[in-house]
Amino acid sequence: MSEEKKSLNFLEQIIEEDLANGLSRDKLRFRFPPEPNGYLHIGHAASICLNFGLGLKYNAPVNLRFDDTNPAKEEQEYVDAIKKDIQWLGFKWANELYSSDYFQQLYDWAIQLIKKGLAYVDDQSSSEIAAQKGTPTEAGTNSPNRDRSIEENLELFEKMKNGEFPEGSHVLRAKIDMASPNMHMRDPILYRILNKEHHRTGNTWNIYPMYDWTHGESDYIEQISHSICTLEFKSHRELYDWYLDQVYSGKDLRPKQREFARRNLSYTVMSKRKLLQLVEEGYVNGWDDPRMPTISGLRRRGYTPKSIIKFSEVAGISKRDNVTDVALLEFCIKDDLNKTAPRVMAVLNPVKLVITNFPEGKEEWLEAENNPEDENAGSRKVPFSREIYIEKEDFREEANKKFFRLKLGKEVRLKNAYIIKAESVIKDENGEITEIHCTYDPLSRSGSGTEESKRKIKGTLHWVSIAHAVKAEVRLYDRLFSDEAPDNHKDKDFKEFINPNSLEIIDNAYVEPSLKEANIGDKFQFQRLGYFCVDTDSSTENLVFNRTVPLRDSWAKIEKKN
RNA sequence: UGGCCCAUGGUGUAAUUGGCAACACACCGGUUUUUGGUACCGACAUUCAAGGUUCGAGUCCUUGUGGGCCAACCA
């Protein structure tokens, strides 16, 4: 077994350098810091796999820390969903923590800052403060409140905390540099007044710390060695470091922030704000709609944790903007399911086929292999009889040589069954074919070992016995957007690119009877069609399958060319 | 009148850190096949541009060009 050498991504290289420069291996510690204001998506999966992957690789703890500093947006529902998703992916956090756990410590440090003359209370309006902020190309101007006395600042901040001021009336600001080329350094806000009930601290606090003030200090409290975030936080790093300077003891570990590019997927959007919009405006049926790029949506769609982890691995980590082809994600799930999903037969667009020389009333139970890719998968019995359904698309009265399926006067093999020959058709008044009449070769049964069964027949069709078939609902999903990067258009709203045909519901599909026992979440390959899973809406009375992803369809390509 | 980051095939990442541009996906062509699936084989790039340093540059330097981020009491 030769261990294939994997190159390190740039973050692993940074860690290796730190280790080489004397950082003790047992000091390594990571964190995944979601804000509980939405559901996790495939982009977060990249971060989860990265951080927890690092934890596994270096045998280091990884904390799950909810960044819950804004009670206006955050909810327990999201906390629960996030935990469920991470667990489903198979990762284990060392500690479940909340930024709100540190509100008191953060407050104490803020007092220290005021005492050092590094923070002041500003009672201007938010628009006044914004106006003084300047622009990226112009320096800002100092607030008239910038030189308040320490005593007055302490007193005002105390009143803010005690709820003596209305929301929005006062903020606590760090005193840094209004002329800094980095906008984040222009006296950033540390605290704002919010009269909101917090999902964990209730009504204890009237003031809430801002992200920048909270995040780095939380990392420090937890002694996170490498605080990994996405690229848009790069310019926050200077402030992250400045805040750390104010509280760092000089003795313990000092966290460092490093940034990587967020993972984008083609034909979808990845911002929580936009996903929330899709949910709230009814473009999809909830956060776990199988068309959503959320972890819960992918789970319901039939994706496995393994496939998502594989995708994250193979997509890699870098610092460039990217739009990863969704085909890569689809490859990962097909690759997994090909090895693991039992093969079954289902007909989605049925047409009746009668085998005229097969005895009426007779049924035969034929041996069917469960998975040719897995020797241990075993086999099952499927019922065969005189009348079966096949796919409408699998029959043509006439067709050229490239059409390997059933046509009048020609033979085709029924998977796991017999070779049949199309003799005639019956049509309704509209010319629509209602029945295909065939004859079968009784000696050609699959696996019987006869000369006849070994005949080379180009086409093989899947089918279900009408008398035994189970009716089912099948939901076919397509990409949610018709554009590769729907939110990359400056002049157009991403919703203009919504694919109106992203969901097709088939309510008269027929599946083989073995599927009656299928449970929610079970995954199958419907032979020649694709991978499907049992949806959460499914019941014994009404089986519902989601198409996870279709099989590669070479025939569709050949047809398209003509 | 700014600061910072990025630039390798259609896409995403590599390149032992200055030494034959590699892997995967997609696409195209073919072989095998009782799934037009899977598997297998083959085709597909002079590394954004121009200069420079060097025996040697995707990698270092300079100047451009293109893209992204930064002005929420969001994270």
Fold of A346-462: Ribosomal Protein L25; Chain P (2.40.240)
- Verify if strand B has an atom below 7 Å from the CB of A136: yes
A272 is catalytic: yes
Fold of A24-260: Rossmann fold (3.40.50)
Please determine, for residue A3, whether its predicted confidence score (pLDDT) is greater than 80.
Answer: no
| Residue A364: band (very low, low, confident or very high) from pLDDT cuts 50, 70, 90 | very high
- Verify if strand B has an atom below 7 Å from the CB of A148: no
Which helix (H) or strand (E) is A79 found in, with range?
A: helix A76-89
Residue lying closest to nucleotide B15, CA to C1': A7
**Distance (Å) from CA A418 to C1' B34?**
10
* Residue tagged 């992200």 (tokens): A211
Q: Which residues of A are annotated as a binding site for L-glutamine?
A: 67, 211
Q: Which of A146, A262, A392, A421 is catalytic?
A: A262
Domain boundaries, chain A: 24-260, 272-342+472-561, 346-462
Residue by residue, DSSP assigns A170-193 as -EEEE---TT-SSGGGSS-EEEEE
Q: Do domains A24-260 and A272-342+472-561 have the same CATH topology?
A: no
Average pLDDT over residues A543-555: 97
* Nucleotide nearest residue A444, measured CA to C1': B34
A148 is catalytic: no
Average pLDDT over residues A503-508: 97
Reported as a single tens digit per residue, the pLDDT across A392-420 is 999 999 998 899 999 999 999 999 999 99
Beta strand extents in A74-206 (DSSP E only): 96-98, 119-122, 171-174, 189-193
Give domain A272-342+472-561's CATH architecture: Beta Barrel (2.40)
Average pLDDT over residues A2-21: 84
| Residue A4: band (very low, low, confident or very high) from pLDDT cuts 50, 70, 90 | low
**How much is the ipTM here?**
0.96
Residue lying closest to nucleotide B68, CA to C1': A321
* Nucleotide nearest residue A416, measured CA to C1': B34
Residue A445 burial by Cβ neighbours in a 10 Å radius (0-12, 13-18, 19+) = buried
Note the pLDDT of residue A560: 82
- Verify if strand B has an atom below 7 Å from the CB of A343: yes
pTM score of the predicted model? 0.95
- Weakest-pLDDT range from A3-12, A31-40, A152-161: A3-12
